[in-house]
Amino acid sequence: MELALFTQAGIYFLAKWTHFLAGITWIGLLYYFNFVQGPFFNETDADTKKNATQKLVPRALWWFRWGAMITFLSGWTMILMNLYAGLPIDAQWTVIIGVGGIFGTIMWANVWFVIWPNQKVVIAKAKGETTVDPAPNANRAFVASRSNVLLSIPMLFFMGAAKNLIFRYNSSNALIFFAIAVVIALIIEVNALVADQNGPTVKPIKTVKNVIISGFALSAILYVVLELVLAS
């Protein structure tokens, strides 16, 4: 008897299940850092913050970065499996999920190559392992983390829209829409890599309220572009 989980469809399901579990872990901790821990650190006393940075933050960041890694790997595994099975690269699912995948890939890169390296310096300072001023590192990690929150809202919109949003689809314009979405994402990423948290380009996402509003606004803009370009 053939077991369903050991068929090609079963392997795809396992990749999706893994993607869900890891994604919930990753994005849940992203929102925890930005919506809960950050405001708490701003209000608490120095000793409490130092103790949490030494003992709580490293544990949370371990789950955070490996959740991001597994989400990234399982997500692209699903996309590649569909392409290998013959799904056209300009098909609606491929294009829409591809936009979400690009957003997620940028977020994954921020976790591993911006947030985590800079947070290691902050943690080392709290543990007394370095005398380096961690303020610039904390700033860079903050801006990258806020940018990930901004990107996460449209990313999840496109992940859900790939199979659940029905609209007129013109595959001849697929590359145009994909290119527009990628350019927007890259502009946000460049800003995340160079902006200061007190600079004008970070003000729209600096507070919890504003980053949530900005995320939904970006989702709405991309949706309008989607309808105008892909449905034309």
Q: Which helix (H) or strand (E) holds 133?
A: none
pLDDT at 1: 65
The answer to whether 111 and 63 are in contact (CB under 8 A) is no
- pTM here is 0.95
Sign of dihedral through CA atoms 124, 127, 133, 137? Answer: positive
With 0-12 / 13-18 / 19 or more C-beta atoms within 10 angstroms meaning exposed / middle / buried, residue 169 is middle
pLDDT recorded at residue 10: 92
pLDDT computed for residue 184 by the predictor? 97
For the chain, percent of residues with pLDDT exceeding 70: 99
DSSP 173: G
List CB contacts of 147: < 8 A, sequence separation 6 or more: 110, 188, 189, 191, 192, 205
Q: Averaged over 3-18, what is the pLDDT?
A: 90
pLDDT at 231 over 80: no
The DSSP result for 68-129, as a single string, is HHHHHHHHHHHHHHHHHTT--TTSHHHHHHHHHHHHHHHHHHHIIIIIHHHHHHHHHHHTTS
